[in-house]
Structure 1
Amino acid sequence: MASSSGRRPGAGPGGGEPSSTPAPASGGRRILRTQTAGNLGESIFDSEVVPSSLVEIAPILRVANEVEASNPRVAYLCRFYAFEKAHRLDPTSSGRGVRQFKTALLQRLERENDPTLKGRVKQSDAREMQSFYQHYYKKYIQALQNAADKADRAQLTKAYQTAAVLFEVLKAVNVSQKIEVDQAILETHNQVEEKKKLYLPYNILPLDPDSAANQAIMRYPEIQASFHALRNTRGLPWPKDHEKKDDADLLEWLQALFGFQKDNVSNQREHLILLLANVHIREMSKPDQQSKLDDHALDIVMKKLFKNYKRWCKYLGRKSSLWLPTIQQEVQQRKLLYMGLYLLIWGEAANLRFMPECLCYIYHHMAFELYGMLAGNVSPTTGENVKPAYGGAEEAFLKKVVTPIYKIIEMEAERSKTMKSKHSHWRNYDDLNEYFWSRDCFRLGWPMRADADFFKTPNFVLNPRDQTNGEHRPAGNDHWMGKVNFVEIRSFWHIFRSFDRMWSFLILSLQV
């Protein structure tokens, strides 16, 4: 199952998605090719080609290549730490290309040990690492921070990530030599970690506090209007155990309540801002009107996003869960919450995106819960305010909503591969999605009942009439739902039925 905790998702529903930006020079995520014996050699460490099972050591090798010109001994210590970490990750070297990679890395370490040791300035490797860490922080990070223009964001991001890797190696070297890290270095590391949380990879919009004021793209009026509209969290009931940030927005509030993944929230925050900004700039022609998000532009984006959901509600004869408040000042906030919730569900749904009506079912119930929380409704059973059925635990939506449905898709797909069963004896995405085409889908409940027919899997038995080819059929005593509407029966005549127009044309041509 592909979760959307990784950056970035594809094209968004109901509008354009910010295009994927190549990994910046700031050490953003790169595609790592699988290492094989054929591409081993001295260039392996320059191109940072590592085995797929050892991707965690790629940043360490990048830092080693970066600092080798200024301090070869530090580069050697980084590679040595990478080798130790690779051995911990795969001690038996069972992964593809791991044995060759570790052998080549060990040979290089043996060649570089003596030359780099002679060039070491300090008396020990621990002191050498501490000295270089302080030097790197002053020369690169402080210099970039003190620049008048706050420097290039990509360079500053790269410097923070490099400093974090250097401290990791520094700490490992000190532990091996039983030397405590200086307090000044620990304080510097804490500052680096705080800033590192802000400077994260992004697609188009750098939304951290420093970049929001200094990057040119963040100064556009339409971006500012959408950005500030999402920051309106006035009147929202935050969970008691949640630590609210000063720069919190509506999507962070949804994350705290429904348990969406952090990267998914970052993706869809940028997605929603750009959707609103694109429509806002087209609708508002006067410059003085662009500083505030236009309600008409908001309605246009909302109409596109919820077109399929409203058609689904109308088809099933159900009222939509898009209830708006009577107070005019809260209408814009409520609309943004509804749109943000839909995008967060879509962004984290992974393979469920192939089942649009299933997403409508999930959104229908979660939007109703959202309305109940904002209206202050009280649960008739507990007497407390309404809370989400699946809570706001970390990754709750992925684990409790997406995963159970995906498991059914996975089992049906495996059955189609491993068993010689008829096409009518297993379900694909369309067959599972057809379950949500009728009112019977509401028997699934919310929270979803684990014993519902949708989650039942059949116990297949061997057909006694066909012992030779191993054809399987569902047992008669189970509750497997099977295909709901259209069931394709494949036979010898299927090829004639599929191409009936072609056969008719050929017969008529022959007669002529």
Structure 2
Amino acid sequence: MPLVTPGVCHGPRAMKRRLMEIFLNGFRPCLGFRKDNVSNQREHLVLLLANMHIRQISKPEQQPKLDDHVLDTTMNKLFKNYKRWCKYLGRKTGLWLPTIPREVQQRKLLYMGLYLLIWDEAANLRFMPECLCYLFHHMAFELYGVLAGNVNPVTGEYVRPFYGGEEEAFLKKVVTPISRIVETDKAERSGTIKSKHSHRRNYDDLNAFFWSRDCFQLGWPMRADAEFFKKKSDLCELCSSSTPQVCVRVCFILATVRSWVQRSRRRWWWSGGGLPELTGH
């Protein structure tokens, strides 16, 4: 029996060798991306690096190897928004590099390839760039754990991608659930499904969720019972919660505060605070 069977990774060294092979063939078996997506983005990455190489190097034909400066420039442009997103939320980036110099360039290529694959597979979710940052953030840490040979403390087995193991796993288990929320809200906006105007959300509304630290409550793998995946009409209009226990407490506090504010306003009005001053002209 071969050490590494198709689509399966055994041990840290085999995982590492397999993922390098996956990058050449396309991340497909271990991370669950489609074959055509892999081919397209492999060519996409090659063209990005080639174009940057031509612009940065005065005589590119005399330097056949990939220059580190070219790679870093391309990587900085590609991850500019992701780094800004991490900084805004106070999180460290998932772009961890190995200490062995000869492996640094390969790791950078893997991160860039992973991001492009997520971007291509996401389809209309590209209108939610911070959502893509969230997906890449977790998958980059997964990739690092796989390459480093980390062991799951619960199972005692080597770390494996949560959504890998079969082709189209990323599309079915990650992209489709989020897209379903978008399609439901789109149906509500078009009138196919009747709902209040305040319950309708668009791409910007959904993407705004990933600009807050609450987005990490989705977890990884993403929790199917998270409030993000619930329809807006299923949430309480006052506290935006779908949990009855939380809703009762929060709504009671909000109702108490609202009542106190209304009484204070009435007292201020009747005491003359709301009457305009009479000034002579």
Above 0.5 in TM-score?
yes
RMSD: 2.6
| Residue number among 9, 16, 26 corresponding to 1:236 in the alignment | 16
1:479 and 2:242 matched: yes
Q: Show the counterpart of 1:284.
A: 57
Counterpart Cα distance in 2 of 1:286 and 1:306:
27
> How has the CA–CA distance of structure 1 residues 315 and 415 changed in structure 2, closer, same or farther, with 3 Å as cutoff?
same
Q: Map residues 454-493 of structure 1 onto 2, 5 A cutoff.
A: 454-459=228-233, 479=242
> How has the CA–CA distance of structure 1 residues 234 and 269 changed in structure 2, closer, same or farther, with 3 Å as cutoff?
farther
1:337 and 2:104 matched: no
The structural deviation recorded for 1:390 is: 1.1
Contact conserved, 2:89 with 2:212, CA < 8 A, in 1? Answer: yes
| Residue number among 125, 128, 147 corresponding to 1:352 in the alignment | 125
The structure number with the bigger radius of gyration is: 1
Q: Map residues 180-191 of structure 1 onto 2, 5 A cutoff.
A: none
The structural deviation recorded for 1:257 is: 1.2
| Residue number among 219, 225, 246 corresponding to 1:445 in the alignment | 219
> How has the CA–CA distance of structure 1 residues 340 and 411 changed in structure 2, closer, same or farther, with 3 Å as cutoff?
same
Counterpart Cα distance in 2 of 1:326 and 1:477:
46
4+ residue runs of structure 1 moved beyond 6 angstroms?
473-478
Counterpart Cα distance in 1 of 2:69 and 2:233:
54
Q: Show the counterpart of 2:139.
A: 366
The structural deviation recorded for 1:420 is: 5.6
Q: Show the counterpart of 1:466.
A: none
Counterpart Cα distance in 1 of 2:108 and 2:167:
25
The structural deviation recorded for 1:459 is: 4.8
Contact conserved, 1:281 with 1:290, CA < 8 A, in 2? Answer: no
1:311 and 2:84 matched: yes
Counterpart Cα distance in 1 of 2:224 and 2:22:
34
CA offsets, 1:48-72, max 9 Å, x none? Answer: xxxxxxxxxxxxxxxxxxxxxxxxx
| Residue number among 202, 207, 227 corresponding to 1:428 in the alignment | 202
Gaps of at least 5 residues in structure 2 are 1-12, 244-281
Contact conserved, 1:250 with 1:337, CA < 8 A, in 2? Answer: yes
Contact conserved, 1:251 with 1:340, CA < 8 A, in 2? Answer: no
Contact conserved, 1:275 with 1:301, CA < 8 A, in 2? Answer: yes
Q: Secondary structure at the match of 1:236?
A: helix
Q: Map residues 147-186 of structure 1 onto 2, 5 A cutoff.
A: none
Contact conserved, 2:200 with 2:232, CA < 8 A, in 1? Answer: no
Counterpart Cα distance in 2 of 1:440 and 1:265:
32
TM-score scaled by length of structure 2: 0.75
Q: Map residues 31-180 of structure 1 onto 2, 5 A cutoff.
A: none
Q: Secondary structure at the match of 2:99?
A: coil
Contact conserved, 2:128 with 2:207, CA < 8 A, in 1? Answer: yes
> How has the CA–CA distance of structure 1 residues 421 and 254 changed in structure 2, closer, same or farther, with 3 Å as cutoff?
same
Question: What amino acid is the match of 1:479?
Answer: S
Counterpart Cα distance in 1 of 2:196 and 2:136:
34
Q: Secondary structure at the match of 1:349?
A: helix
CA offsets, 1:135-176, max 9 Å, x none? Answer: xxxxxxxxxxxxxxxxxxxxxxxxxxxxxxxxxxxxxxxxxx
CA offsets, 1:364-423, max 9 Å, x none? Answer: 000000000111111001111110011221100000000000000111111122256443
Contact conserved, 1:458 with 1:478, CA < 8 A, in 2? Answer: no
The structure whose RCO (Cα within 8 Å, separation 6+) is larger is 2
Higher helix proportion (structure 1 or 2): 2
Contact conserved, 2:33 with 2:167, CA < 8 A, in 1? Answer: yes
Question: What amino acid is the match of 1:433?
Answer: N
Contact conserved, 1:373 with 1:387, CA < 8 A, in 2? Answer: yes
> How has the CA–CA distance of structure 1 residues 286 and 406 changed in structure 2, closer, same or farther, with 3 Å as cutoff?
same
The structural deviation recorded for 1:335 is: 0.3
Question: What amino acid is the match of 1:236?
Answer: K
Q: Secondary structure at the match of 1:398?
A: helix
